[in-house]
Amino acid sequence: MTVAHMRIDNRLIHGQVTVKWVGAIGANHLIVTNDDVAKDEIQRMILPQAARGVRTSILGIDDTLAYLATQEAANEKIMIIAKFPTDALRLLEGGVEPQEINVGNQAPTPGTKFTMVTRSIAVTADDAAVYREIAQNRPLTSKMMPNDKPADFVAMLAGKKL
C-alpha cells in the first residue's frame, strides 16, 4: 500500500488540501474515506470537483482497503482524507501504513460535548481515546499547512486535559 499521507479532516476536500497539501506531498490520487460520505450522491459529485483536477475517489472504509491492495494503488502516490478519527483507526487496523498521519480540521459535531484543542480542531472524550489508539505505535501530528512545524497531537490533547 502506497499511502503518502493520511489527513483526518471532517471538512474533507477544500483549498488547503488541494492547493497546499497535494502539491507538497506530490499526491496523484485523493481518497476520501467514510462510509456515509461514500453513500451520499451529492458529496460523490461535488468532492471531485473541489479537488481541482486531482484524481479523486470517494470510498467507504472496506472499499478503501480493497483498493489499496490493488496493483493500481501500488503505482500511485495516495493521500487519504479520513472524515473522522474512527475512520482513520479502521484503516490502520486494516493494514494501512501511511508515511504520515496528520490531524487537520475537525469542526464540532452539534450536540456533543467537545473541547477546542486548536482554533479548528474540536475533540470529544471519545475522539481523544481514538486519537490515542491511533498514536500507540506511530506518530500523530497536527499542522495546518505542510510547511508548518508538526505538533505532537497526543501532547496537545494532554495539554487540554483530554
Alpha carbons 114 and 117: distance in angstroms, whole number = 9
Single out the catalytic residue among 1, 2, 14, 28.
14
DSSP state string for 87-135: HHHHHHHTT---S-EEE--BPPPTTS--EEEETTEEE-HHHHHHHHHHT
- The yes-or-no answer on residue 5 being catalytic is no
> ∠62-42-17 over CA atoms, to 5°?
70
Q: In angstroms, how far apart are the furthest CA atoms of the chain? A: 44
Distances (CA, A) of 35 to 53, 58, 124: 23, 9, 21
Active site residues: 14
